[in-house]
């Protein structure tokens, strides 16, 4: 069965959103982890997550650049830098920024979450949607600039769902260090 770029972008986005919704990861690490796994980024899963850990909550809680946007930009660089020169990777990052801002009105976490900050459930739901959007935009741009990445898509990994119990145990292990 042939899988097209749109299917892959949606599958990676759904994977990122599921990782965020499980509370196993924040926005940035969920996007980077899903793109790395789904498009064969080549990083060990723990390393992919660790590289993005500081970007969640608008750069470590500072409320600056949205973590989903940060994770999407890091994902672009991870995949595109294997086949494109740095100047082209930066152009792709600018395109990502502009599309994200066009869709959501801002790239600033503080601005994006202001209306939902007081309601934890709404805040999480809103950030879940931003996480999904960031991953989908990143993959769409990656596949536009590097169509051969479709062939690296791991549809089996993208279809694999983590159990709630597994996510709970991973969060517990993270806290226990």
**End-to-end CA, the chain:** 42
Reported as a single tens digit per residue, the pLDDT across 68-125 is 999 999 999 999 999 999 999 999 999 999 999 999 999 999 999 999 999 999 999 9
Q: Is the pLDDT of residue 127 over 50?
A: yes
Confidence bin at 148 (pLDDT 50/70/90):
confident
- What pLDDT does residue 92 have? 97
Among candidate residues 145, 150, 156, 153, the one with its CA nearest the CA of residue 40: 153
| pTM, to two decimals | 0.87
How many angstroms separate the Cα of 8 from the Cα of each of 2, 35, 122?
A: 11, 10, 28
Distance CA 28, CA 124 (A): 14
Tokens of 91: 């152009």
pLDDT of residue 172: 57
pLDDT-based confidence at residue 173 (cuts at 50, 70, 90): low
Q: How confident is the model at residue 2 (pLDDT cuts 50, 70, 90)?
A: very low
For the chain, percent of residues with pLDDT exceeding 70: 85
Report the mean per-residue pLDDT for the chain: 88
């Amino acid at each position: 069965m042939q899988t097209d770029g749109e299917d892959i972008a949606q599958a990676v986005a759904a994977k990122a959103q599921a990782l965020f919704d499980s509370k196993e990861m924040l926005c940035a690490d969920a996007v980077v982890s899903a793109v790395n796994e789904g498009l064969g980024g080549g990083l060990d899963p723990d390393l992919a997550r660790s590289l993005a850990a500081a970007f969640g909550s608008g750069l470590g809680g500072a409320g600056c650049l949205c973590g989903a946007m940060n994770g999407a930009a890091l994902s672009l660089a991870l995949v595109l830098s294997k086949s494109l020169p740095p100047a082209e990777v930066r152009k792709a990052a600018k395109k990502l920024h502009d599309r994200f801002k066009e869709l959501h009105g801002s790239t600033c976490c503080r601005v994006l979450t202001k209306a939902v900050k007081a309601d934890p459930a709404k805040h999480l739901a809103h950030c879940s949607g931003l996480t999904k959007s960031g991953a989908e935009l990143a993959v769409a741009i990656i596949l536009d600039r590097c169509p051969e990445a479709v062939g690296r898509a791991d549809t089996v990994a993208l279809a694999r769902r983590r159990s709630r119990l597994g996510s709970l145990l991973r969060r517990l292990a993270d806290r226990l260090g």
